[in-house]
Amino acid sequence: MPYGNPIDRHPQHRRMPVAQAIGSKWLTLVEIEPLPNIVPTIGERVPIATTPNAPGHRVSDRITYADLTTVARENLPSIVRKIVVEKERVFVEFFNVAEPINIRLHSLELLPGVGKKTLMQILAERKKKPFESFEDIQKRVRINDPAKLIVDRIIKELQGGERYYLFVEPYPRNPDHRFLNYLRFLYERVGYRDPW
């Protein structure tokens, strides 16, 4: 939004350029102040300043799914899919290491479309041999699009209102939300390093 967001709750964002973005590492929704004379395009990866004097766009605020514009909401699934596919090794590892949350519910069951029968197939197959790719999961468990299951779950977590959060830290925090923080565990497990 090169001229600001007229319906933003922050008066300063109504007058100055602002862009809505999702962090590629922790999947956090944010508003950023673009660098002067630079207009980020939809889906473009942009550098974020981590300190006041560092080069890059500045994060002005963390936002919720409800704060997203219509255009941002429409593009979010494709952007999240791009992130998931880019980090295929990380998310495939989730299928290999996901654990039960309690005696009645398994983490894998939080993925849309995974019920008890599919859960048992995944557990049996990963016991034989760890999954190596989304294609491997697709062949061995007959899930049409494993990446889509992850994307749909991430979108649900970004929208809020979930009891359990596998990947996205709930914002704002609520004592009823249980954040399982699988991303941190998966990044450490596969030795993932952000490209920049």
What is the reported pLDDT for 195? 63
Name the burial class of residue 11, with classes exposed (0-12), middle (13-18) and buried (19+) by CB atoms within 10 angstroms of its CB.
exposed
| HEC sequence for the chain | CCCCCCCCCCHHHHCCCCEEEECCCCCCEEEEECCCCCCCCCCCCCCECCCCCCCCEEEEEECCHHHCCHHHHHHHHHHHHHHHHHCHHHHHHHHHHCCECCCCCEHHHHCCCCCHHHHHHHHHHHHHCCCCCHHHHHHHHCCCCHHHHHHHHHHHHHHCCCCEECCCCCCCCCCCCEECCHHHHHHHHHCCCCCC
> How many of the other CB atoms lie within 10 Å of CB of 93?
21
Residue found under tokens 């963390």: 62
Among residues of the chain, what percentage have pLDDT more than 70? Answer: 91
pLDDT grade, residue 144 (50/70/90)?
very high
Those residues whose C-beta lies under 8 Å from the C-beta of residue 96, and which sit 6 or more positions away, are: 126, 130, 131
Average pLDDT over residues 150-172: 96
pTM over the 0.95 mark: no
Supply the CATH classification number for the domain 11-72: 2.40.50
pLDDT grade, residue 35 (50/70/90)?
confident
What is the reported pLDDT for 196? 46
Helix axes 134-141, 146-159, angle to 10 degrees: 110
Question: What are 70-125's pLDDT values in tens digits?
Answer: 999 999 999 999 999 999 999 999 999 999 999 999 999 999 999 999 999 999 99
CB burial readout 144-159, b (16+ within 10 A) else e:
eebbbbbbbbbbbbbe
Question: What are 119-141's pLDDT values in tens digits?
Answer: 999 999 999 999 999 999 999 99
- The domain ranges of the chain are 11-72, 87-190
Q: Specify the fold of 87-190.
A: DNA polymerase; domain 1 (1.10.150)
On the question of pLDDT at 38 being above 60, the answer is yes
Quote the tokens at residue 10. 């922050």
Average pLDDT over residues 5-33: 79
On the question of pLDDT at 4 being above 70, the answer is no
On the question of pLDDT at 194 being above 80, the answer is no
